[in-house]
Amino acid sequence: MAKKEIELMKTLNHKNIVRFIDQFRHNGTWYIILEYCGKGDLEKYKQKVGKIPEYHCKVLVRGILEALVELHTERKEINKKKIAHRDLKLPNILIND
């Protein structure tokens, strides 16, 4: 993860965006510590539960859209640059309990 991305993650504070906790380097490798998401990613969750009920899908999609709106909205702390998530896929969507 690029230094710029880490600095950006530190500024984000939204209920549907995984919170950045800390970072450290050990033996030349950078580690990023994020908020714990107990149900894992959406791809593994779907494989585990099978067909996700329509109501639950609506809740998931609403949360994803709210997070994307938050990222795309102009923000003072990041010089009013709009953010685009360019790798949106099931394994990159984490589900909290």
d(CA 82, CA 33): 24
| Candidates 22, 41, 87, 97; catalytic one | 87
d(CA 88, CA 91): 8
Q: How many CA atoms lie within 13 A of 96 on its CB side?
A: 11
> Is residue 41 annotated as part of the catalytic site, yes or no?
no
**Enzyme catalytic residues:** 87
